[in-house]
Amino acid sequence: MKQILATIRLILVFTGSLVLVIFGLILLLLSGGSAAVSRFISKTWARFCLFVLNVKVHFSGQAPERRVILMANHRSYIDIFLVFSRYPASIVAKKELGRWPIVGWSVRLARMILVDRSSKSSLIATMRAIKAEIDLGGGVILFPEGGIKAESLTATFKHGSFKIAQTTGTPIAPAAINYHDSKVFWGDESFLTNFYRQMGKWRTDVDFWIGKPITAESDEVLMETVKQTIDGKLAEFEGIENQNNRQQ
């Protein structure tokens, strides 16, 4: 039964994503590359995927109303749907995503910035692309841990994006993502293996919080403040869960 449910969801996500990508690329062409079209399609796609996958989002905080760099901890491919559903901005992602079916076609549509973490020149180009997007008045989404991590709190942050935020005067909106089932973590297994393991379950519950934008007097202080803020919220989520488990 679980395999059947996961297969149905995979087909629906693939088919729906394909239709939205084609429709979105046509709209993007007709609008001359409008950022508003990109944001609309990205948010619609994200909310469609969350609905099909039956991801119950317990949202708190407030989505940014101005240009910011949104930074969140990273635990699963579902994270992308979560952030797009509330703040559909240009997202920094690993270059491997560009090879995925449908996702690869939507790089321009979703205004993705793809990075090869093993290449220093790619990292430099990514930093320049982030700055260019901000200079054009756009927002950016990134996961400062530099990849998916299994820890309950955040791992070490990459420093470069904080320097850009400080240089351009762009506030950082901290975001915390906490899955009620820790097994949702996507580690070394393939996408399909993880998808069938997780999406064969009827529902996935996740806490998603976006805090107020943060500024600081230096990039080092900014990085530490953002990290402490996200860690504090993750610890709060974990404490609430432990309390609820004791009451059950």
Compute the average pLDDT of residues 87-96: 82
Confidence of residue 235 (pLDDT cuts 50, 70, 90): very high
If you ran DSSP here, which 8-state letter would residue 95 be given?
G
pLDDT at 168: 86
Could you give the strand order of the β-sheet that contains 140-142, starting from the edge strand earlier in sequence? 55-61, 204-210, 172-179, 69-72, 140-142, 90-94, 113-115
pLDDT for residue 104 is more than 80? no
Q: Is residue 142 part of a domain?
A: yes
pLDDT at 137: 79
pLDDT in tens, 139-163: 899 999 988 888 889 999 988 889 8
Q: What is the pTM of this model?
A: 0.88
Q: Which domain holds residue 164?
A: 55-188+204-247
Q: Is residue 144 part of a domain?
A: yes
Confidence of residue 100 (pLDDT cuts 50, 70, 90): low
Compute the average pLDDT of residues 12-23: 91
Q: Is residue 2 part of a domain?
A: no
- Gap between the Cα atoms of 159 and 223, Å rounded: 7
pLDDT at 207: 96
pLDDT for residue 79 is more than 70? yes
Strand partners, 70: 141, 173
Across the chain, the runs of DSSP E, i.e. the strands, are: 55-61, 69-72, 90-94, 113-115, 140-142, 172-179, 204-210
Q: Is residue 103 part of a domain?
A: yes
Query: What residues contact residue 35 under an 8 Å CB cut-off, 6+ apart?
Result: 111, 138
Structural domains counted in the chain? 1
The better pLDDT of the pair 10, 109 is held by 10
Q: Is residue 48 part of a domain?
A: no
Q: Is residue 35 part of a domain?
A: no
Confidence of residue 118 (pLDDT cuts 50, 70, 90): low
**Of 7-21, 99-113, 157-171, 197-211, where does mean pLDDT reach its minimum?**
99-113
Neighbours of 90 (CB within 10 A): 24
Compute the average pLDDT of residues 60-85: 92
pLDDT at 101: 62
Q: Which of 182, 134, 175, 162 is nearest to 224 (CA)?
A: 162
Q: Is residue 39 part of a domain?
A: no
Q: What is the residue-averaged pLDDT of the chain? A: 86
The better pLDDT of the pair 61, 101 is held by 61
Compute the average pLDDT of residues 165-185: 90
- Gap between the Cα atoms of 170 and 173, Å rounded: 10
pLDDT for residue 47 is more than 60? yes
